[in-house]
Structure 1
Amino acid sequence: MPIYKRLLHVLTAFVLTPALAPAPASAADIDWPTYGRDHSNQRYATLDQINTSNVGRLTRAWAYQSGVKATFQATPIMVGRTVFLSLPFNDVVALDAVTGKSLWRYTHPRKKDYPLCCGPANRGVAVADGRVFIGTVDARLVALDAKSGKVLWDVEVADGDSARSESVATLTESDPLRKATIAGQSGVGIAMAPVVHRGKVLIGVTGVGYGLHLDSDRDGAPLGAVVGFAGNYGRPGFLAAFDVNTGKRIWQFDTIAPTRWEGEFRQATPDGVPLHRDIDKERADLPKYPDAARYGGGSAWSTPAIDSENGLLYFGTGNPSPQMDGSSRPGDNLYTVSLVCLEVETGKIRWHYQQVPHDQWGYDVASPAVLFDYPYKGQRVPAVGQAAKIGWYYIHNRLNGELLLKSDEFVVHQNTFTNPTPEGQVILPGVLGGINWSPTSVDAQRLIAYVPAIHWPVKYTKRAIPATPDRPAVEYTTLEPLMDVPRWGVLSAIDLASGRMKWQRQTAQPLVGGVLATAGQLVFMGEGNGSFNAYDAATGQTLWSDRLEAGVNAPPVTWQIDGVQYVAVAAGGNQIFGYKAGDTFQVYTLGK
């Protein structure tokens, strides 16, 4: 049944309370101090008080309800017995980590009428040097005093106006897309949680890989479709470093190559999967689009992993702009859809690995990179792993980018990298992934990665706006998540030594939100139906579950205070996936 039920008028836009002093820390306290627990992004906790033998006694300790019911993706930070939690639309709260008592709340004064590129969600704060840092939906970086919530500085990261573009295309009355509602717009924003390293706050922007997001025809239903037009829409993305004390920009790395962004015109991905490109036509068309890189896209979605010893960082880039229609951007479109390695001090690029050259399917490198040591040809190699939207786990030498291993598929591939047709081609994984932005966990001792994934086919269709006397015909494409086919989630334990699956656990709904693994041999993961589950890390068996009133679509964390281990997660749903919204931050500990 078509999803487009409501009017799309004309496509003219493609486009505080007093602070309380924290309780003194105990030698038994173990924090969750940064987005990925540490700069490796492993999201693996050495705590084992809660384990396979007693997790059935896990009970609710306290909860905080924010009053903001919207897509909730934040990783909470716990430092010095205080939880720092970012809310949808970028409010920040500080809570007592033992009791849940509110210490202060910062209310973000969002720019009036600012077009949100990607909804209200953000993925967390960074805490360092007595400050709390948050990137905002209106493309600002704000520093707060950690004790009071007072604003210390507030700087513009990007000019949102520079990404807005207009189209001359107007849909005819008979076109089915006239009956839809625009959900996504083209303002630049920030989704990732910042990370602090040696006096620098690292943050990147999203919303630059231009495309229209259309609402479904039902409240609480998933994203209706993504629509792509050829043309000069969008702008280059970037990752930047700012001084923690002043907010001054130190360096900026643009995710679009400054020269020869067309690359090598690859016929296949670097690991050998055919892309079905018309390379001769692209080469012939290249002179027609000399300014394509100025609109190149490449959002920075994932919080970087940092190798302090070697002074390197690793992050993923998004799709080229405009989305899905590559005719106005011939070539490989470097450095989009890539895992990128930079020098932390300078922002200079060391290497990149482009998973999908000339991406037309929305296969952003969205899930954060993870660092670990890896046995390879009899040696211990410093490695970086990344779970890809296209359904494989990649392991690289993190010093030079060499591909060391590509895992077996963690989702079944029915059809990938196919071109759109008027009838529509079903592809899987689709624009939702594989894996989406969800962070993975890695047990570096056992060399196991825990990956939450999505089985959700989409239809890739080419459409046309007929010519009229005053304008030419316009072609466009749509990627529509299919509602009349089975879809589900898959939680996988991947043996990184071999690339094979140790176990897989299918869930009723596609998984988005992230996982936590612990030394208690447990893996925690939430679902869109409100279930929050603990799995046996060795077998995938469900050992414990709680049901919350909203979708559990944020990454769980754990900490320890006075010898007591806590597990915590936000339950606020996810609009794009159609999961019920909420405003709860729930904390658990062992009952009697």
Structure 2
Amino acid sequence: MMRGGSITGPALLAILIGVSSARAAEGDWPAFAGGPENRNFSGLAQIDRGNVARLRPAWIFQTGVTGTFQAQPVVVDGTLYVSTTQNHVAAIEAKSGRVLWTYTHRARTEKVFGPPSNRGVAVSGGLVFEATMDGRLLALDAGSGRVVWDKEAVRPEEGESETASGLAAQLGGKPVQGSSRLGFKMPPLVADGLVIVGVTGAGYGLHVEDEKGGLDGGSVIGIEGGYGRRGWLAAYDARTGEERWRWYVTKADGWEGGYVTATPDGTPLHRDVAAEKAAAPANRDAWRVGGGSLWMTPAYDAELGLIYLGTGNPAPQNLGLSRPGDNLYTMSLVALDVATGKLRWHFQQVPHEEWGYDVASPAFLLDHPGEDGPVKAVAQGSKTGWIFVHDRRDGRLLARSRPLITQKNLFAPPTPEGTVVSPGPLGAISWHPVAYDAARGLAFAQVRHGAATYTVKTLPGAEGRPPIRYTETGEARAEPSFSTLTAVDLAEGGGIAWTVKAGSRLSGGTLATAGGLVLSGEEDGHLDAHDAETGQMLWRFQCGAGIGGPPMTFSVEGRQYVAVAAGGASFTKSSGFGTGDALVVFALPD
């Protein structure tokens, strides 16, 4: 509405929603990963290689909720917004740490998938958007924390199988979590007036919890059968919360694909195609429960009108005869039209996947060298141990980096004797963001080196039921297990520029800055700063609990800050490192 020559009300909100990061106030960190390119890079350079050793805590915010604190904060116009474990939200004065308001989330169900973590909020047009583990999408007033709208997108317990208790009895009383429970972990993307978010928990089917009571340790049992859920990404009107479109990961018509025997980049898959085709007639509807979780925020190219996201593993996890075929479009990098959700292209990294190699780390945008000049490209750091680079327009594979780990028996199927495969389901690069420094052409990734043993087991059926087949996945303890911070030169053939072995498991993701720094968190609680050119460690600080989220940086009134969540994660329970509830914010001394 126009009043006295100015724009007010819904019209103003419509203009504000979806403002690009380029128009954000200088020094802000206006969205997850710093902006729609998902580069986790900042042009701030006040903190640099020469003075980073003087970095000290400026203020600390304690959430009051311990553990699994994975969120990356967002800073807009001097206010920092952060979500916590249990989906609470706080607005904080970014220069002082003074709390401005808090929102306390009251979940409508306790049945959620995995640890109750949240990885961040989105802020646009005076609203704070959060997607919750109990399947809701919220819009809060950025000034007060008041709920503007609350959309129930999915109930996590919808469609749960009633066979879990019976299967638990057959599995010796082990706790069966069934079936998959849908919810949200990713920070939403705000683009073109839409809030875009996708579900996790779709790709497991019935599974048995490991001895630690969780899923993050890598010991997961996937049970054969139609117990999964169908993953999806949806877009909601940022003003009202009304759903505008929904894209399902599993293809309703032809999800079997071409029964390919190698990945698109030429790596053999060792599939028993004959057995899959024989099983196909009895499993024509497998796509209906075919999985495909969406772990992290898509990248967005406003000029092309496309978003780029990775999809997760098919269901049931690790055992594929009850889902014959390539299982389109799981395990893929996909490009969708932002206005309609229509698929523009896909690149399936692992057809008919059986190892837990979700395309989980968020894609990021870059300009890739080409014969006729720079090519608009999108890259993704994979669990399989490569960084893939594609043409943003059509998905054509432009380059693949050198392997970031030593691969062993890659794509060898699980067996009754146990097959040792490297990497394991936690991957080389898991959901953690990769930082990209365009000026240097370097991508900085936290890389896990480790293997898993995949064992097919069979239990006799009870009460006339057929036998139960499942795959047990556990860490291959005889194999080396460690993490590295690795710099990959994407401008010069994808070679390894440098790699540094960490003292404990790296987690949360990386941040690169124009000050020549790469910041990276460890599960033992250290936040480390490395020289972007050489990898040399220049500074580290013990934050008191495992680093579970990606660091970020911002400036207020000419002073640069670095912030990171230190709350641990589910894997810290088995590692001996503690959990916490702190957002630690650093700056140079006055």
Aligned to 1:139: 135
> Is contact 1:153–1:246 with CA below 8 Å preserved after alignment?
yes
1:327 is aligned, of 321, 330, 334, to 321
SS of residue in 1 equivalent to 2:586: strand
Within 5 Å, give how 1:14-29 maps onto structure 2: 29=26
| Whole-angstrom CA distance in 1 between matches of 2:84 and 2:179 | 21
Is 1:546 paired with 2:544? no
Q: Which ranges in structure 1 are unaligned for 5 or more consecutive residues?
A: 1-26
1:509 is aligned, of 493, 504, 507, to 504
Is 1:443 paired with 2:437? yes
2:581 is aligned, of 565, 583, 588, to 583
> Is contact 1:425–1:461 with CA below 8 Å preserved after alignment?
yes
* Pair 220,337 (structure 1): closer, same or farther in 2 beyond 3 Å: closer
Aligned to 2:524: 529
Aligned to 2:122: 126
2:104 is aligned, of 102, 107, 124, to 107
SS of residue in 2 equivalent to 1:514: strand
Q: Which amino acid aligns with 2:190?
A: V
Q: CA deviation at 1:280?
A: 1.5
| Whole-angstrom CA distance in 2 between matches of 1:220 and 1:477 | 17
Q: Which amino acid aligns with 1:246?
A: T
Aligned to 2:410: 416
Comparing 157-166 with 249-258, which one deviates more in the overlay? 157-166
SS of residue in 2 equivalent to 1:288: helix
Aligned to 1:31: 28
* Pair 466,172 (structure 1): closer, same or farther in 2 beyond 3 Å: farther
> Is contact 1:165–1:234 with CA below 8 Å preserved after alignment?
no
Q: CA deviation at 1:160?
A: 2.5
Aligned to 1:87: 84
Residues 463-503 of structure 1: CA deviation (Å, up to 9, x unaligned): 11124553232211111124564311111100002110000
Comparing 155-164 with 121-130, which one deviates more in the overlay? 155-164
SS of residue in 2 equivalent to 1:162: coil
2:245 is aligned, of 234, 240, 251, to 251
> Is contact 1:461–1:479 with CA below 8 Å preserved after alignment?
yes
Q: Which amino acid aligns with 1:47?
A: L
Q: Which amino acid aligns with 1:154?
A: D
| Whole-angstrom CA distance in 1 between matches of 2:561 and 2:404 | 30
* Pair 151,402 (structure 1): closer, same or farther in 2 beyond 3 Å: same
Aligned to 1:42: 39
Q: Which ranges in structure 2 are unaligned for 5 or more consecutive residues?
A: 1-23
Is 1:73 paired with 2:67? no
Aligned to 1:152: 148
SS of residue in 2 equivalent to 1:591: coil
Q: CA deviation at 1:415?
A: 2.1
2:398 is aligned, of 404, 419, 422, to 404
Within 5 Å, give how 1:263-302 maps onto structure 2: 263-302=257-296
* Pair 332,393 (structure 1): closer, same or farther in 2 beyond 3 Å: same
| Whole-angstrom CA distance in 1 between matches of 2:258 and 2:162 | 31
Residues 186-229 of structure 1: CA deviation (Å, up to 9, x unaligned): 22110110011121101111111124565554699962611111
SS of residue in 2 equivalent to 1:452: strand
| Whole-angstrom CA distance in 1 between matches of 2:160 and 2:168 | 23
Residues 349-405 of structure 1: CA deviation (Å, up to 9, x unaligned): 100000000011111000000001111123211000000010100000010000000
Q: Which amino acid aligns with 2:62?
A: Q
SS of residue in 2 equivalent to 1:286: helix
Alignment coverage as a number of residue pairs: 563
Q: Which amino acid aligns with 1:503?
A: W
Aligned to 1:59: 56
* Pair 184,170 (structure 1): closer, same or farther in 2 beyond 3 Å: closer
| Whole-angstrom CA distance in 2 between matches of 1:237 and 1:29 | 37
> Is contact 1:162–1:235 with CA below 8 Å preserved after alignment?
no
1:336 is aligned, of 317, 325, 330, to 330
TM (norm. structure 1) is 0.92
Q: Which amino acid aligns with 1:584?
A: A
Q: RMSD between aligned alpha carbons?
A: 2.0
* Pair 219,243 (structure 1): closer, same or farther in 2 beyond 3 Å: closer
SS of residue in 2 equivalent to 1:161: coil
Is 1:492 paired with 2:490? no
Q: Which amino acid aligns with 2:520?
A: M
* Pair 243,469 (structure 1): closer, same or farther in 2 beyond 3 Å: closer
Comparing 279-288 with 494-503, which one deviates more in the overlay? 279-288
Residues 315-362 of structure 1: CA deviation (Å, up to 9, x unaligned): 010001111111111000000010000111111110000000001111
Q: Which amino acid aligns with 1:521?
A: G
Aligned to 2:14: none
TM (norm. structure 2) is 0.92
> Is contact 2:209–2:221 with CA below 8 Å preserved after alignment?
no
SS of residue in 1 equivalent to 2:534: coil
Identity score, percent: 47
* Pair 501,508 (structure 1): closer, same or farther in 2 beyond 3 Å: same
1:311 is aligned, of 305, 318, 322, to 305
Comparing 161-170 with 293-302, which one deviates more in the overlay? 161-170
* Pair 545,325 (structure 1): closer, same or farther in 2 beyond 3 Å: same
| Whole-angstrom CA distance in 2 between matches of 1:526 and 1:183 | 31
Q: Which amino acid aligns with 1:53?
A: G
| Whole-angstrom CA distance in 2 between matches of 1:88 and 1:582 | 11
Q: CA deviation at 1:447?
A: 1.2
Residues 35-77 of structure 1: CA deviation (Å, up to 9, x unaligned): 0101100111001100000100000100001110020110100
| Whole-angstrom CA distance in 2 between matches of 1:412 and 1:399 | 32
> Is contact 2:180–2:229 with CA below 8 Å preserved after alignment?
no
Q: Which amino acid aligns with 1:591?
A: P
| Whole-angstrom CA distance in 2 between matches of 1:183 and 1:46 | 45
* Pair 419,255 (structure 1): closer, same or farther in 2 beyond 3 Å: same
> Is contact 1:118–1:184 with CA below 8 Å preserved after alignment?
no
Q: Which amino acid aligns with 1:146?
A: A
> Is contact 1:299–1:317 with CA below 8 Å preserved after alignment?
yes
Aligned to 1:475: 469
